[in-house]
């Protein structure tokens, strides 16, 4: 097999090293009119091709990735697998207001028409029971809970795992089980992208553990800010926060720190300054399993 990597990112070279195969960056050229030229600079004839590109900022990536997948097939690739640790457009899984596009379903159709298989990490499955409901190609989900639990067990004494909302409970409970730690879940009410209310569901009076907030996606950071404030109100120490997919920019990171989060770490599903937990070995195992004859 060969890995084709989104340019100037770590995922492709790291994945290729774990797979023991060649890696080549996709060569992209943007014309003045906004169109993109894609070039594959390695021979892929007779090879299974793994395209490594996390799908943060997906609107800029989708067309070049589709061009790359089609070019790989035309150049003789036997299969084209997308490794996208962060899978975009999963949160719009219903028509919440009249006239809205259900983008998770549309995005799934586009990727399914472009790639032969998909490998990702903890997609935001809320109303969809599985990726198979919307994706027409085989998909493999790498769970982040074991790696997160291992990091917490190695770096936090007496952790108390805290989920920011009811949706997180099943996943947070698994992290807590693997880390051999207690957990609780907060109640969240979202009134808008920037308006989130979080409060305690369980009494934590007298709790002495080190709170570790665990969330799947950290974008605006408002959920973490509200959760940290709710924990402070109980007299707990400043929490650590762990995000699977952290998309927050500098202003959001500053707001999270200002709210009293002592440390924010993330899995390397999206390249980010907070990356401390790698999932590359697990991604490589999923790729090998998908390409196994």
Task: Return the active site residues.
Answer: 188
Cα dist. 12→22, 56, 271, 277, 291 in Å? 10, 15, 12, 17, 17
- The DSSP code sequence of 75-114 is TT-SEEEEE-SS--S-S--S--STT---HHHHHHHHHHTT
Cα dist. 97→93, 104, 136 in Å? 12, 15, 26
Q: What are phi and psi of 110, to 5 degrees?
A: -65, -45
Kindly tell me the number of DSSP H helices and DSSP E strands found in the chain: 8, 15
Task: Report how far residue 59's alpha carbon sits from residue 264's, in angstroms, rounded to the nearest whole number.
Answer: 27
Task: Report how far residue 4's alpha carbon sits from residue 292's, in angstroms, rounded to the nearest whole number.
Answer: 19
Q: Are strands 79-83 and 117-121 parallel, antiparallel or unpaired?
A: parallel
């Amino acid at each position: 097999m060969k890995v084709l990597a989104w340019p100037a990112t770590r995922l492709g070279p790291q994945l290729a090293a774990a797979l023991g195969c060649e890696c080549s960056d996709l060569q992209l050229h943007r014309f003045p009119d906004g169109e993109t030229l894609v070039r594959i600079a390695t021979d892929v004839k007779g090879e299974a091709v793994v395209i490594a590109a996390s799908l943060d900022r997906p609107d800029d990536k989708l067309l070049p990735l589709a061009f790359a997948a089609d070019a790989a097939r035309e150049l003789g690739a036997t299969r084209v697998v997308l490794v996208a640790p962060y899978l975009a457009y999963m949160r719009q899984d219903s028509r919440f207001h009249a006239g809205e596009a259900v983008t998770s379903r549309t995005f799934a159709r586009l990727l399914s028409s472009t790639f032969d298989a998909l490998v990702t990490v903890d997609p935001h499955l809320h109303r969809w029971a599985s990726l198979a409901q919307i994706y027409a190609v085989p998909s493999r989900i790498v769970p982040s809970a074991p790696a997160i639990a291992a990091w917490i067990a190695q770096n936090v004494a007496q952790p108390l795992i805290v989920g920011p909302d009811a949706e997180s409970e099943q996943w947070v409970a698994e992290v807590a089980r693997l880390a051999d730690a207690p957990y609780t879940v907060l109640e969240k009410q979202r009134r808008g992208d920037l308006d989130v209310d979080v409060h305690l569901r369980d009494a934590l009076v007298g709790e002495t553990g080190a709170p570790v907030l665990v969330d799947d996606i950290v974008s605006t950071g408002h959920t973490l800010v509200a959760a940290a404030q709710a924990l402070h109100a109980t007299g707990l120490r400043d929490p650590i926060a762990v995000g699977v997919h952290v998309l927050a920019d500098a202003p959001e990171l500053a707001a999270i720190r200002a709210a009293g989060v002592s440390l924010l770490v993330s899995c390397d599903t999206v390249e980010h300054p907070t990356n401390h937990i790698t999932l590359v070995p697990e991604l490589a195992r999923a790729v090998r399993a998908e390409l196994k004859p």
